[in-house]
């Protein structure tokens, strides 16, 4: 499931809606389904900076919480409404990590990206954390396992974006705005706590500061990647198709751009795909 990216500097209230699709398919209506709140409202917590939903489970990031250490909350819809079930944190989290920059969920697995995490590869190398739902249901916990890029390096911001669907996990490492890194996307395959890197996706025309991988989405065998920093932030989107032999290191099959482009448009800041 894809992450919805919101960048705000105050505590958010998450409002959920149910979408009703009539048999004719001619229109959709929305019914208010609930409002999600943090346990304690804290200025700068950025509750809601990233959200993901799968079925009756909602995942909400709060990366500014605990002096920027960050946390992620799990909510479940019950007969009495949405209930907060768990707080997810990094085992070795420290102030300023901003854990929860991106989130995704598929079934019993929650993925949390932390592109600004410092690890053995260097400052802001980035880490992705995986949480597996316990047998008795979601509860306060630290990660079940964590992943780094096979070629992890400082300022690559691995985990800037994340998407998971079943046994496929896709992770963006966009680097910093104006940085000396064009960005990359990594594909992992596995389940539970066992994941292996299968591919590294890059842009054939990549250049430093493109922010390739800042946004991404996946549907079936198609991965789309946003690079909003491309060409003075005119932006571009790259499309990758899974080969018949499986995922492997590759460049894009197609590049999408706006028909009329101007510097600062930031085309590709966020992306979504359905029916690829």
Q: Delineate the domains of the chain, giving CATH numbers in brackets.
A: 1-19+30-163 (2.130.10.130), 167-173+192-276 (no CATH)
What's residue 130's pLDDT?
99
Distances (CA, A) of 207 to 76, 212, 224: 42, 9, 18
Count other C-beta atoms under 10 Å from residue 11's C-beta. 19
pLDDT tens, position by position, 218-263: 999 999 999 999 999 999 999 999 999 999 999 999 999 999 999 9
Secondary structure string (H, E, C) spanning 181-192: CCEEEEEEEEEC
* Percentage of the chain modeled with pLDDT above 90: 80
Instruction: Read off the DSSP letter of residue 260.
Output: S
Q: Both tokens of residue 268?
A: 């590709």
**Beta strands at 141-142 and 81-89: parallel, antiparallel or unpaired:** parallel
What whole-number distance in Å separates Cα of residue 255 and Cα of residue 272? 15
Q: For residues 220 and 228, is the Cβ–Cβ distance under 8 A?
A: no
Work out the pLDDT band at 34, boundaries 50, 70, 90.
confident
pLDDT tens, position by position, 172-208: 999 998 889 999 999 999 999 999 999 999 999 999 9
Global pTM value: 0.89
Q: Both tokens of residue 57?
A: 């489970």
Q: What is the DSSP string of 42-110?
A: -TT--TTSEEEEETTEEEEEETTHHHHT-EEEEEEEETTEEEEEEEEE-TT--TT--TTSEEEEETTEE
């Amino acid at each position: 499931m894809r992450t919805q990216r919101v960048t705000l500097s105050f505590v958010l209230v998450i409002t959920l809606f149910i979408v009703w699709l009539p048999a004719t398919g001619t229109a959709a209506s929305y019914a208010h389904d609930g409002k999600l709140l943090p346990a304690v409202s804290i200025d700068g917590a950025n509750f809601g900076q990233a959200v993901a939903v799968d079925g009756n489970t909602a995942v909400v990031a709060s990366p500014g919480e605990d002096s920027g250490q960050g946390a992620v909350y799990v909510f479940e819809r019950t007969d009495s409404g949405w209930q907060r079930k768990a707080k997810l944190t990094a085992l070795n989290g420290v102030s300023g990590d901003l854990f929860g920059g991106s989130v995704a969920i598929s079934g019993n697995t929650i993925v949390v990206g932390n592109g600004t995490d410092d690890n053995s590869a260097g400052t802001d190398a980035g880490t992705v954390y995986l949480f597996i739902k316990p047998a008795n249901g979601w509860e306060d916990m630290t990660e079940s396992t964590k992943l780094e890029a096979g070629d992890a390096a400082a300022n690559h911001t691995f985990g800037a974006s994340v998407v998971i669907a079943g046994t496929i996990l896709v992770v963006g490492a966009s680097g910093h705005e104006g940085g000396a890194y064009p960005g990359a996307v990594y594909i992992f395959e596995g389940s539970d706590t066992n994941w292996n890197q299968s591919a590294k996706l890059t842009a054939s025309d990549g250049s430093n500061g493109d922010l390739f991988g800042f946004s991404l989405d996946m549907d079936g065998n198609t991965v789309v990647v946003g690079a909003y920093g491309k060409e003075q932030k005119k932006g571009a989107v790259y499309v990758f198709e899974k080969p018949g032999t499986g995922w492997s290191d590759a460049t894009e099959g197609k590049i999408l751009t706006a028909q009329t482009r101007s510097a600062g448009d930031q085309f590709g800041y966020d992306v979504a795909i359905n029916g690829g």
